[in-house]
Amino acid sequence: MSDNEDVLHFDHIVIGSGLAGLTTALHLARSGRSVAVVTKREIDECNSRLAQGGVACVMDALDTFDEHVQDTLTAGAGLCNEAAVRAIVEAGPDAVNEIVSLGAKFTTRGDLGYKDERDGYDLGREGGHHKRRILHAGDITGAELEKVMVDAVTALPNVRIFEYHIAIDLVMSSRPTESSKGRCSGAYVLDIRRGRVVTMLAPTTVIACGGVGKVYLYTSNPDVACGSGVAMAYRAGANISNMEFIQFHPTILHHPQIRSFLISEALRGEGAVLKVRTSRDAEPEEFMHKYHPMKSLAPRDVVARAIDSEMKRTGEECVYLDIRHLSEERLRLRFPHIFAKCLEAGINMAHDLIPVVPAAHFSCGGITTDINGCSSIIGLYAVGESACTGLHGANRLASNSLLEAMVVPRFLAKEIDRTFGELSRNRPGEHTGMHWSNGNATDSDEQVVISHNWDEIRRFMWDYVGIYRTNKRLERAENRIQLIRKEIDKYYRDFIVTADLIELRNIATVAELIIKCSLLRHESRGLHFNADYPSPDPAMACVDTVISRKLGR
């Protein structure tokens, strides 16, 4: 590390501290090299911690890799990279066994009181899966895995954690040209508490910043999910793929005081059915049979659009999940966290219907990478939801995201170990061109500009670029984002950066990427539904939407 407190040197920088980021840090640190982990809040504040369902993985003799691959390809609607899918699926059991060896505890059948000939893990089933293959830790799987990884990484002497540090932009030691995407040598990072910018330099930089949910008005994601990794990579010139495919989770608890609480798809895996009221006094009726042969266990894109359609048809503010066929004892054992949260809302799942609505949940697109996390820029890698590896295609199969977050970092670490000698020979120095400068920027007295633009972006993205899209809606959104981007760019040049300004700039960039990709895809496929092109175009199967920043912009 440098003696200059404004320039810090490491062997590896990992931006993000969710499951993918911490798994990356753990495997890179095993080489003995120095690793910096940058996270904008506490180390465990991330999407991974909120994951309820579990990890999709073949762990049963009644299941096969081929079946898991096929379910993934079917959900992905013709846009998955089959080789990537197979590699990730087949590496799943080893990744699961490793995290168990670190202390993770998945629920067993014995934990739930089952006494039969089957033992071992209690494997759940979720939408799009034809077999039970979801490993879970009650209904707080993400929290269990995140805790294990936080403990493992923080115990390593060669890993330094930077909490309350937010990355601003990537350091490019060579800029993109017509023949090269350039080289990344680190990141400019704002120390939020001290209000100063630090330049962090390293031969490798891994983006693991998570999702983009806060681009939308209604989301299951935490406040940190602003798509910062994708935005930074785009500004640096990296290829970005398939940002039109935003997964809306079908079942977020609909309650005025409890916001953004996800009701796991695992409830439907245990037999919960979706129902809607056709009139104020009528008993809610099932409706998913009208939309898909798997009914309430259909893939998420089908379920979300069906719910949206039923709400518009009936004028109701929500639909309902009915899991009253299970006893209170069984529900408390299987879904303790969800049961408690519903009770907090005055809902006893064993006796009451659960009101739910869709909300933005997961981005299937991101920074274009191979299965080793390598991006189009030398020295820049991406893992987790920030990356587009080809696993998810046009629609993520339930619980494949935690699988990807556990597997791809293992591939990445092996690839970096293989190439680190070459990468480190061109280790960045402290030359003046890499130092951060505020220029003539001053402190802002117009904070309302940030909050107003933030609110406007999230509202028009929900209205125009949500579950149901049309060309006219997308064009309206494009016009608005272009004007707002100009305002934000001027504000960014004129005033000293703050965490709020950095996040606003990022959600504006990500919103523009989602809109651009949506306008380029003249069909409906998976999560992208455009009423002007209501059917898939066979010529677009296996064709990714890839965009990058034009040189000189």
Cα separation of 142 and 308, whole Å?
Answer: 27
Residue 428 lies in a domain: yes
The reported pLDDT for the residue numbered 417 is 96
For residues 164 and 134, state if they share a domain. yes
For residues 115 and 194, state if they share a domain. yes
- Domain range for residue 93? 7-242+364-433
Dig out the tokens for 92 from the structure: 């799943």
Dig out the tokens for 271 from the structure: 């037999």
For residues 428 and 341, state if they share a domain. no
Q: What is the CATH number of the domain that holds 525?
A: 1.20.58.100
Using an 8 Å Cβ cutoff, are 453 and 484 in contact? Answer: yes
The reported pLDDT for the residue numbered 3 is 41
Cα separation of 146 and 179, whole Å?
Answer: 40
Q: Which residues contact 366 (CB under 8 A, 6 or more apart)?
A: 229, 230, 240, 241, 242, 243, 382, 385, 386, 387, 388
For residues 328 and 265, state if they share a domain. yes
pLDDT band with cut points at 50, 70 and 90 for residue 2: very low
For residues 295 and 349, state if they share a domain. yes
Q: Phi and psi at residue 91, in whole multiples of 5°?
A: -85, -5
Number of domains in the chain: 3
Q: Which of 383, 408, 433 is a domain's end point? A: 433
Candidates 133, 268, 300, 473; catalytic one:
300
pLDDT in tens, 104-121: 999 999 888 887 656 689
pLDDT in tens, 332-355: 999 999 999 999 999 999 999 999
For residues 47 and 62, state if they share a domain. yes
Which stretch of 209-223, 262-276, 351-365, 428-442 has the lowest confidence by average pLDDT? 428-442
- Beta-sheet pairing, 55-56 with 134-135: antiparallel
pTM listed for this prediction = 0.90
Which stretch of 63-67, 81-85, 435-439 has the lowest confidence by average pLDDT? 435-439
pLDDT in tens, 131-158: 999 999 988 899 999 999 999 999 999 9
Residue 2 lies in a domain: no
Q: What percent of the chain has pLDDT over 70?
A: 93
Residue 266 lies in a domain: yes
Q: Is 196 a known active-site residue?
A: no
For residues 205 and 269, state if they share a domain. no
Residue 88 lies in a domain: yes
Name which residue leads in pLDDT, 448 or 404: 404
Residue 527 lies in a domain: yes
Residue 59 lies in a domain: yes
Q: Which of 433, 454, 489 is a domain's end point? A: 433
For residues 209 and 257, state if they share a domain. no
Q: Which of 341, 360, 379 is a domain's end point? A: 360
For residues 268 and 166, state if they share a domain. no
The reported pLDDT for the residue numbered 432 is 40
Q: What is the CATH number of the domain that holds 62?
A: 3.50.50.60
Residue 55 lies in a domain: yes
Q: Which residues contact 312 (CB under 8 A, 6 or more apart)?
A: none
The reported pLDDT for the residue numbered 51 is 80
For residues 197 and 141, state if they share a domain. yes
pLDDT in tens, 472-524: 999 999 999 999 999 888 888 777 889 999 999 999 999 999 999 999 999 99
For residues 104 and 157, state if they share a domain. yes
Assess whether pLDDT exceeds 70 at residue 123. Answer: yes
Sheet holding 183-191, edge to edge: 7-9, 196-201, 183-191, 165-174
The reported pLDDT for the residue numbered 550 is 79
Alpha-helical (H) ranges within 13-114 are 19-29, 47-50, 65-75, 82-90, 92-101
For residues 384 and 491, state if they share a domain. no
